[in-house]
Structure 1
Amino acid sequence: MSIMFDEILTEPEVIKNAIHANEKKVTDIAAEVKKRKIKNITIIGRGTSDNAGLCFKYFAEILSGIPSGTAHPSVTTMYGANVDYSDHLFVAISQSGRSIDTLAVLSQANKQGALTVAVTNDATSPLARAGKYHLDLSAGVEKSIASAKSYIAELTVLYMLAIALSGKPLMPVVYSFPQRVEEAIELLPAIAEAAEQTKDLNNFIILSRGVMQGVGKELMLKLNECAYTFAQFYGTNDFMHGPYALVEEGVNIIILAPDGECSENFRDIATRLQLLNANVLTFSDNQQLLNLATYGVKMPSMDNLSCTIAYSVAMHLFAIELAKQKGKNPDAPRNLKKVTITK
């Protein structure tokens, strides 16, 4: 089918490798956080790694209660600011480990005495060597330019870290992640049908809320790079504070809506969009939400944190299928290289 798809098929094994490689490391990091009484987490990443970092923010705050925020590299690299990370757990995420701006900020955090963690797929990379701790994605060589398996490995190790920070043992839900991937892959016929139904649509508004915001941003990125389709992500409540004015008959919207804490919010906005005659593609395990949609993909039911795994795989598959329907090659996005170096 494609290199990207072939690598998605390896993700159950990738997850197992990532768990094995990092189970002790996340415990060690959590022990040092507790010993040093660290009360803040700062996260940095670019592109897909930034999306994984946004998921980690929710994992960490929900499971451990530690406030978590994002560092913007330009504050350091362009403006020369000396941000104080001295009492922070500083988590830098980069699949290649070669992003110059990410490395620059982590190096600053090191000098200030932060507890630094590098998350990469290359243990020999500059970022991996610079962090006090290194969480190895253990995903193997990734040939696809649009990252898929390394992103799933990032979600896995970051979820593990969040659990460790909570002081609890590694929960059985982590060991179920390979099954979550397999369940999403089994949805390929339904996902391919949704791509066929939406192949002539060229612009999408993507909506979700909570922990799924990182997944929504990841779908936005993959539609851009694989299918050359413009998309913009909004959290559902942010969407109501202005962008809602974009909605008119025929506007194209994708909703990522796992059943759970945010279901009432999803039902409210789906009802509003139906009344305005928007074209809505909904990914959900909630049949009521699917009934409100123009097109729907029935997702498996699971807890509202680990659903990030299954939905991310489904979003990658949708981007591949939409690219194919549009006559594009998801393995050869124009203007892009596998490793992006930014300063």
Structure 2
Amino acid sequence: MTTSRMRAEIDEQPDALARTIEALLPRASDVGLLARDTRQVLFIARGSSDNAAVYGRYLVESHTGRLATLAAPSIATAYRSRVDLSGVLAVAISQSGKTEEIVETLAWAADCGARTVAVTNGAASPLAEAAEVALITEAGDELAVPATKTYTTQLAALAVLALGLGARVDRADLRRAPDEVRRLIAETEAHEALPAIVAELAAVQGVVVSGRGIAFGTALELALKIKEACYLHAMGLSYADLLHGPIAVVDERTPALLVAADSGPTLPGTIALARRVRGAGARAYGIGGGDGLAGACSRALPGPDLPEWVAPLGLIVPGQLVVEALARDLGVDPDVPRGLNKVTQTD
């Protein structure tokens, strides 16, 4: 069977991450200088970039002591409201840097008093040119519509952003990420649970994907990939929100896919959720979470051997491999999902 472009780009992630981290770590001081008179962070993004922003938000709030929020671009582009953004660092994220709504919203933020940063794979893009500091990822050309290497390199850029904002973490953990992703790709591909999970997901119409805290963005991104590349209903939820009602949709016909770092304060809750899902007669699939989550799930794939703050750079990778294999099993070309383009424009 011919290898999909998506699968090839999954394999390119270790090198793309290594290039991005090497290029951007020296820029952490530029972020720190720009942000010295700011007190909070506003993330501006859509789609997979918005899921990366969720990671950025949790990372900034948990490790730098700054308030971080997600922007509603329509406030700028549709309502054209004037908001006082003095003391705000606006961070716009776009793989292409060409989405007009995101470029316009960053310009609006600057006009409202914010300092501005761009995270993009487009070095000469309008978004990069609009920002005071541009963190250019080194993913190379990405041809498959579902974002893989552009997403993980965005996460690396946001880790550098957090370092620039004074995150109390060891940057050596970030440097280990490319090799860990390389190991994880090989281990997942050879893991006996991969074809079993794919076969079982191919027989259902929907799945709930859940994580919490720093892993929440991974759950949202994996749910998005399942929807756009496999055409299955996928609900991405924090497990705290899942327990407030939507848990009722999890049953023998709707499994749960749970993601967690191998350590951190949200791991015990993820393990407890896996046990509850199985207790309700549903299947629970785990990604990451160490032996604890694997033991509580019906089937599980390993996650990265990285601390929680940087684990999402690897945690999404087994999910990407599941999605690519599932799409092909369902007869869908994962490279060109119907109705989607590489650059999406919104009003």
TM > 0.5: yes
Aligned position for 2:176: 176
1:80-95 aligned within 5 A = 80-95=80-95
Residue identity matched to 1:6: A
Return the alpha-carbon distance in structure 1 between the equivalents of residues 12 and 34 of structure 2: 33
* C-alpha contact 2:180 2:305 (8 A) present in aligned 1: no
Return the alpha-carbon distance in structure 2 between the equivalents of residues 288 and 17 of structure 1: 33
Q: Does 1:26 align with 2:28?
A: yes
Return the alpha-carbon distance in structure 2 between the equivalents of residues 298 and 41 of structure 1: 33
1:50-199 aligned within 5 A = 50-166=50-166, 171-186=171-186, 187-190=188-191, 191-199=194-202
Identity over aligned residues, as a percent?
A: 30
Q: Secondary structure at the match of 2:244?
A: coil
Give CA-to-partner distance per residue, 1:46-87, whole Å, 9 cap, x none.
101001111011111122111100111111211221122121
Q: Which moved more, 1:285-294 or 1:103-112?
A: 285-294
Residue identity matched to 1:24: P
Structure 2 residues without counterparts, runs of 5 or longer: none
Q: Report the CA distance shift for 1:285/1:111 in structure 2 as closer, same or farther (over 3 A).
A: closer
Q: Does 1:225 align with 2:228?
A: yes
How far has the Cα of 1:298 moved from its partner?
3.1
Return the alpha-carbon distance in structure 1 between the equivalents of residues 195 and 251 of structure 2: 26
Query: Structure 2-normalised TM-score?
Result: 0.93
Return the alpha-carbon distance in structure 2 between the equivalents of residues 169 and 254 of structure 1: 29
Aligned position for 1:247: 250
Residue identity matched to 1:253: A
Give CA-to-partner distance per residue, 1:141-192, whole Å, 9 cap, x none.
1111111111111000110110121166971011111112112201113233
Aligned position for 2:295: 291
Aligned position for 1:238: 241
Q: Report the CA distance shift for 1:115/1:258 in structure 2 as closer, same or farther (over 3 A).
A: same
How far has the Cα of 1:202 moved from its partner?
1.7
Q: Secondary structure at the match of 2:95?
A: coil
Aligned position for 2:267: 263
Residue identity matched to 1:136: I
Aligned residues: 341
* C-alpha contact 1:207 1:234 (8 A) present in aligned 2: yes
Q: Secondary structure at the match of 2:336?
A: coil
* C-alpha contact 1:63 1:163 (8 A) present in aligned 2: no
Aligned position for 1:334: 338
Residue identity matched to 1:312: I
Match of 1:301 among 300, 305, 311: 305
Give CA-to-partner distance per residue, 1:259-291, whole Å, 9 cap, x none.
322222122222221211012112234334323
Return the alpha-carbon distance in structure 1 between the equivalents of residues 209 and 106 of structure 2: 32
Residue identity matched to 1:93: I
Structure 1 residues without counterparts, runs of 5 or longer: none
Q: Secondary structure at the match of 1:92?
A: strand
Return the alpha-carbon distance in structure 2 between the equivalents of residues 337 and 32 of structure 1: 34
Aligned position for 2:12: 10
